[in-house]
Structure 1
Amino acid sequence: MKHVMTYRAVEDFLPLARQHGPAHVARLHEFHDRGLLLMVGTFDEPMNGDAMGVFTTREAAEEFIAGDPFVRHGVVAEWTVRPWNEVLVP
């Protein structure tokens, strides 16, 4: 079982995202390097700053969220973490 984190960005997210982007990306790399974050990305249609990430555990997702500069500085309006049953496993 994996855990999917979703972010819904604030309406005018771009200025804040640019300001806090480097620290956010550094945190993404930290969690990926630790083997806790498997994949992450933004949605393209519509391009509104919404995103999702797949984590190995709920605790990893919640730890990421708690210290994410995008959450701490108001880029993210709301977030969720949901359990996800992976069907096709290599």
Structure 2
Amino acid sequence: MVQGKPEWEVKVTGPCSCESLNIKLSCAGFQSVTTIDSKVLSKTGDECLLNDGEPIDHGDYVFKYVWDTSFDFEITDAKITCS
């Protein structure tokens, strides 16, 4: 609990064992009472950019936020490269 509100953990899992970058999430209405580093999650309008657009190798990318209820993020766009 932070400021009387629960802390939520978000885990974004890549769809395969490839590198993902420029991952964009729908986040209309998303809020947090704590500041989230803009390199972790930056919000512009109703869209959020994950990891400053930098590559996320196969595996999970995790960040946390604090709000009364959980928020359902949805991946709207990403570039996936496999070598």
Alignment TM class, shorter chain as reference: 0.3 to 0.5
Q: TM-score, normalised by structure 2?
A: 0.41
Q: TM-score, normalised by structure 1?
A: 0.39
Q: Which has the higher strand share?
A: 2
Q: Which has the higher helix share?
A: 1
